[in-house]
Structure 1
């Protein structure tokens, strides 16, 4: 007899969750990259004044950092019972 997994086992697999974790990390890096792109002089593609472009770039960078840290802490950091104190 073949050793096939049940539908419940396939639905509870962690592979889609793993994909979402890495997608969230990649989106955080994209936000940071967009923020850096806003700071570059060739970023006149966005048709914004220089000050507004730089402020928006800082917002994107900080948002990317916060999102990356939160995702890393939530999904990739190992939980240690001694750290819960």
Structure 2
């Protein structure tokens, strides 16, 4: 069994949560980027019909934006923002 004190365990958990926040934001940017690539890429690059490519690209962009705003609101918004009206 590892001999770690409580402070080390708390700090390790905190750093993992911070890393996860930024990873989720990175994945949201990847989805938006993939969707933008699908929308802007030449038609001959994919074996999809142009309409299907636009729909899938738009869904990726929409999903990435939703993930970004949900993550931002959950992890990065100041907790006192809702009380300062």
Residue correspondences, number: 79
Q: Which runs of 4+ in 1 moved over 6 A?
A: none
Aligned-pair CA distance for 1:11: 1.8
Following superposition, the deviation at residue 40 of structure 1 comes to 1.4
| Structure 1 pair 69–41 and aligned structure 2 pair: CA distance change class (3 A) | same
The question of 1:51 aligning with 2:51 is answered yes
Cα distance in 1 for residues equivalent to 2:32 and 2:9: 34
Change (3 A) 1:17 1:44: farther
Q: Counterparts of 1:1-85 in structure 2 under 5 Å? A: 6-13=4-11, 14-42=14-42, 44-80=44-80, 82=83
TM-score when scaled to structure 1?
A: 0.81
TM-score, L = length of structure 2 = 0.81
Q: Give a deviation string over 1:9-52, Cα, whole Å, max 9, x none.
A: 22212111100000000000000000000011336433211110
Unaligned runs of 5+ in 2: none
Q: Which runs of 5+ in 1 are unaligned?
A: 1-5
